[in-house]
């Protein structure tokens, strides 16, 4: 099939059919604002997929098969509060083309240590509405940095590249 972009957002879908894996030329898959709880392993059969939005679903885990998407550059996992981020990071670390990751509103109170596996990222978008009062993050790279201050809602854009992300419990200090 010749389909290049598939937008199924804002529906009551709970699953994606395995036949999605037959869309070999699919480059963009928009599944935001559905009720999807899991993705089929056939998601890994999409060699041209560059962007997938899974914002505001009910995912608890990413399938390991997503690491077989060689062109995947951007994934939005925002508003999936039950998503196992540590497991997702381990899987996404195997996608060498991944450059952008969005994690808005996932009830983040800390970044899992597995974030350090995502050395290929260039953009990491974070947001948190109810952070821990003892948590302060500084995201730093050679090209810029951003601060998160305890008790504040925030949106941070960090260009990560291959620089490790230091964490600090003292606002204003790396």
pLDDT at position 164 is: 39
**Rounded Cα gap, residues 135 and 170, in angstroms:** 8
User: Mean pLDDT in the chain?
Assistant: 78
pLDDT at position 128 is: 54
Cα–Cα separations (whole angstroms), residue 98 to 2, 18, 86, 128, 131 = 24, 23, 16, 22, 27
Domain 5-168 sits in CATH at 3.80.10.10
pTM assigned to the model:
0.75
Closest CA to 26 of 8, 61, 51: 51
pLDDT at position 1 is: 57
Per-residue DSSP letter, 88: H
Q: What is the pLDDT of residues 72-114, one digit of tens each?
A: 999 999 999 999 999 999 999 999 999 999 988 877 777 788 8
**Rounded Cα gap, residues 148 and 24, in angstroms:** 40
Helices (H), 7-84: none
* Kind plus residue range of the DSSP H or E element containing 87: helix 85-92
Sorted by where each begins, the domain ranges of the chain are 5-168
**Low-confidence stretches of the chain (pLDDT beneath 70):** 1, 127-174
pLDDT at position 127 is: 62
Tell me the residue ranges of DSSP E strands in the chain. 5-7, 28-30, 51-53, 74-76, 100-103, 123-128, 136-141, 144-148, 154-158, 167-168
Starting from the edge strand earliest in sequence, which strands make up the sheet with 123-128, in order? 5-7, 28-30, 51-53, 74-76, 100-103, 123-128, 154-158
pLDDT at position 156 is: 40
């Amino acid at each position: 099939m010749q389909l290049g972009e598939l937008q199924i957002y804002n529906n009551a879908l709970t699953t994606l059919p395995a036949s999605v894996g037959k869309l070999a030329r699919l480059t963009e898959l928009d599944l935001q604002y559905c009720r999807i709880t899991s993705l089929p392993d056939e998601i890994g059969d999409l060699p041209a997929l560059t962007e997938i939005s899974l914002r505001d679903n009910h995912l608890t885990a990413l399938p390991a098969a997503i690491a077989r998407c060689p062109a995947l550059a951007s994934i939005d996992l925002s508003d999936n509060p039950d998503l196992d981020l540590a497991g997702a990071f381990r899987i996404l670390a195997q996608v060498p083309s991944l450059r952008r990751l969005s994690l808005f509103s996932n009830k983040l109170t800390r970044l899992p240590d597995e974030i350090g596996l995502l050395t290929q990222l260039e953009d990491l978008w974070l947001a948190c509405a109810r952070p821990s009062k003892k948590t302060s993050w500084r995201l730093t790279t050679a090209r810029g940095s951003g601060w998160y201050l305890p008790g504040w809602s925030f949106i941070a854009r960090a260009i990560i590249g291959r620089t490790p992300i230091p964490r600090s419990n003292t606002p204003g200090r790396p």
